[in-house]
Structures are given as structure tokens and as C-alpha cells.
Amino acid sequence: MPRDDRASCLDATTTGMALSVTAEVGRLLEALAASGQPGAVDLRSLPLTDADRQQLQDLLGRGEVRADLELAGRSEVWETAYPGVWWIRHLAADDRIASEEIAVCPVPEILQAHPDDIRAGARRLSQDLAALQAPAAPVPGDTNQETTHV
């Protein structure tokens, strides 16, 4: 059988891995619920066929949250039907999957704003507001400018 045909046959076959991964996710979710300990499963390191991947998506379903990120290529994050279980898929510039994992946590780190960024954002916003509120400098020689005295 030609190599490409063998590969497509394999991709269409379920191997039972989806059930195993779901069981592992269940164990991690119990740990998160009991102790707050986050966990993750790296899907790229597992021998999943395309059919396995689809079965795993069907088993975990879709929840209420979905986020698309533009970070040197697209990234997709969605919460599964089980709160605390997140599917994170990073795509390379050519839209191939570069890394894919299931994160078990309240909110994936990649969605959270880092405290340093929050501080930098606060500083920037304050500067922007100050710039907006500052009176515009008069343009020399512009006789059309109105001056208001209070």
C-alpha cells in the first residue's frame, strides 16, 4: 500500500487514546477541584490519530468561552463542556498546529494579564489621559484659533 494511503487509513482509525486522555483529564480535574492544583496534557506528545483527536473533542464538548489570539500566528483557546478544562491550540504562521494541550485550571495563563503588564498599562493609560486633557499648544501665526478666558 502506498505510504500516503497508509497514513490516511491510520488517521481515520480510533485507537482508544481519546478515552485514556479523557480519563487523565478527569483525574486532573478532580485534583483541581480538591486542592486547586492545576495540570495539563500535551496532546502533541501523544500518538493521537485525526480520528482520536476528533473523538476527544466530541467527548469533551464545547463550553461557554472561546478566545482567539494573534501571537506570532493564530492561537485558539476554548473551554470545554467541563468548567476548568481548556483546549489550547497554537498555530504556526502557515496555520499548522504547532502545539496543542488540554489545560486544567480556572483560567489559562495565556489569557491572563500579567501584573507587570497591568502596571505598565495603568501607567500608559494615565499618560494618554494626561495628554488628552492637556490644552493644545497654540500654533504660531494661527489667527483663527479662539482663546477662551475663564
Partner 1 sequence: MSDKNAAARGPVTAANKTLGEALSDRGVSRRTFLKFASYTASIMALPPTAATAIAQGLANARRQSVIWLSFQECTGCTESITRAGTPSIEDLIFDFISLDYHHTLQNASGHLAELAREQAMEENKGEYLVIVDGSVPLKDDGVYSTIAGMTNLQMLQDTVRNAKAVISVGSCAAFGGIPGANPNPTGAVPISDLVTGKPLITKLSPNQTDIAENARRCIEAGSDAFAVINTLMGMAIDIESRTPHIGNNQGGLSGPAIKPIALLKVHQVYQVARDHGIPIIGQGGVTTPNDAIEFLLAGATAVGVGTALFYDPLVLPKINRGIGEYLERHGLSRVSELTGAMRLNTQRPAQQCGC
| Among positions 6, 27, 58, 109, the unique one binding partner 1 when judged by CB under 8 A | 109
Quick check: 62 binds partner 1 (CB under 8 A)? no
The sign of the torsion formed by the CA atoms of 140, 145, 149, 150 equals negative
Stretch that binds partner 1, among 15-23, 55-63, 69-77, 124-132 (CB under 8 A): 69-77
| Among positions 30, 42, 58, 128, the unique one binding partner 1 when judged by CB under 8 A | 42
Please report how many Cα atoms fall inside a 13 Å half-sphere around the Cα of residue 61, on the Cβ side.
Answer: 6
| Among positions 34, 71, 131, 139, the unique one binding partner 1 when judged by CB under 8 A | 71
Asked whether 35 and 28 are in contact (CB, 8 A), the reply is no
Quick check: 45 binds partner 1 (CB under 8 A)? yes
Q: CA separation (Å) from 64 to 33, 78, 83, 94, 132? A: 19, 8, 9, 28, 38
Residue count, binding to partner 1 (CB under 8 A): 23
CB of 121 to partner 1, least distance (A): 12
Quick check: 103 binds partner 1 (CB under 8 A)? yes
Grid cell of 76 as nine digits: 485558539
CB of 71 to partner 1, least distance (A): 4
Q: Is 27 helix (H, G, I), strand (E, B) or coil?
A: helix
7-12's contacts with Cβ under 8 Å and 24+ in sequence apart are 10/49, 11/49, 11/50, 11/51, 12/49, 12/50, 12/51
Residue closer to partner 1 by CB (options 18, 102) is 102
Quick check: 69 binds partner 1 (CB under 8 A)? yes
Q: Identify any residues that bridge with 13 across adjacent strands, giving them in sequence order.
A: none
Residues interacting with partner 1, by CB under 8 A? 38-42, 44-45, 69, 71-72, 75, 88, 90, 98-99, 101, 103, 109-110, 114-117
